[in-house]
Amino acid sequence: TQLLEQSPQFLSIQEGENLTVYCNSSSVFSSLQWYRQEPGEGPVLLVTVVTGGEVKKLKRLTFQFGDARKDSSLHITAAQPGDTGLYLCAGPASGTYKYIFGTGTRLKVLA
Amino acid sequence: ETGVTQTPRHLVMGMTNKKSLKCEQHLGHNAMYWYKQSAKKPLELMFVYNFKEQTENNSVPSRFSPECPNSSHLFLHLHTLQPEDSALYLCASSPGTSLAGGLGPRTQYFGPGTRLLVL
């Protein structure tokens, strides 16, 4: 069974600090997605990583896909209150139309 | 604007009511999904449709009945729900199969969700 574990589960930091969120699995994924979800809303896609070792940047957010395509990280530089939300990683389950979602990291950035 | 819309955004219903949730995607995708998200729990996949055919039913109780009349529309019919069914119900779509028949790009796009409260 493919699983995605995220750490940390909760994170509360001050504005301006840097942070890294991790998404780990013992299984290989063909791609991984990162989403941010705000309360009462659906997850909004941030990025898709496909190639092992790939690094993508979205303003202050840097996403990396592990060389073996089993893990991914999200690094936020100089966090802002607008970064507050639930961060989810997800990947397609092999041979099915199912998606595997991580357990989520709930981030709160204090002004 | 995600290209996936859901109505209603909020719904309150009694346990004996029948209601339906609607999802529409404007992205030209072939696969559509229903998820349930309860407080402090991970997203739970409920149903998957690809080209209007149901490909996954994740052991969902029969009081939830999906319908997919075409690749752009997805419904979730609700009947005799329980209070523990109160949750955020999310619809998503993805490109589904590739032209070659295999699994194509797999990124999912979500709608804003329907917040359901069962009294």
Q: Chain B: nearest CA to A87, how far in angstroms?
A: 11
Residue A8 scores a pLDDT above 80: yes
Asked whether the beta carbons of residue A43 and residue B115 sit closer than 8 angstroms, the reply is no
Q: What is the 3-state secondary structure (H, E, C) of chain B?
A: CCCEEEECCEEEECCCCEEEEEEEECCCCCEEEEEEECCCCCCEEEEEEECCEEEEECCCCCCEEEEEEECCEEEEEEECCCHHHCEEEEEEEECCECCCCCECCCCCEECCCEEEEEC
The count of C-alpha atoms lying within 13 angstroms of the C-alpha of B73, restricted to the half-sphere facing its C-beta, is 8
One-letter identity of residue A76: I
Q: What pLDDT score was predicted for residue B50? A: 84
Most A CBs within 10 Å, among B27, B88, B89, B107, to test the A interface = B107
Rounded CA separation A89/A6 (Å): 8
Residue of A nearest to B111 (CA): A42
The string of pLDDT tens digits covering residues A19-74 is 999 999 999 998 899 999 998 889 999 999 999 999 999 999 999 999 999 999 99
The span from the CA of A106 to the CA of A68, in Å, is: 26
* pLDDT band at residue B96 under the 50/70/90 scheme: low
Query: How large is the average pLDDT for residues A75-86?
Result: 97
Å between B50 CA and nearest CA of chain A: 8
Reported as a pLDDT band with limits 50, 70 and 90, residue A11 is very high
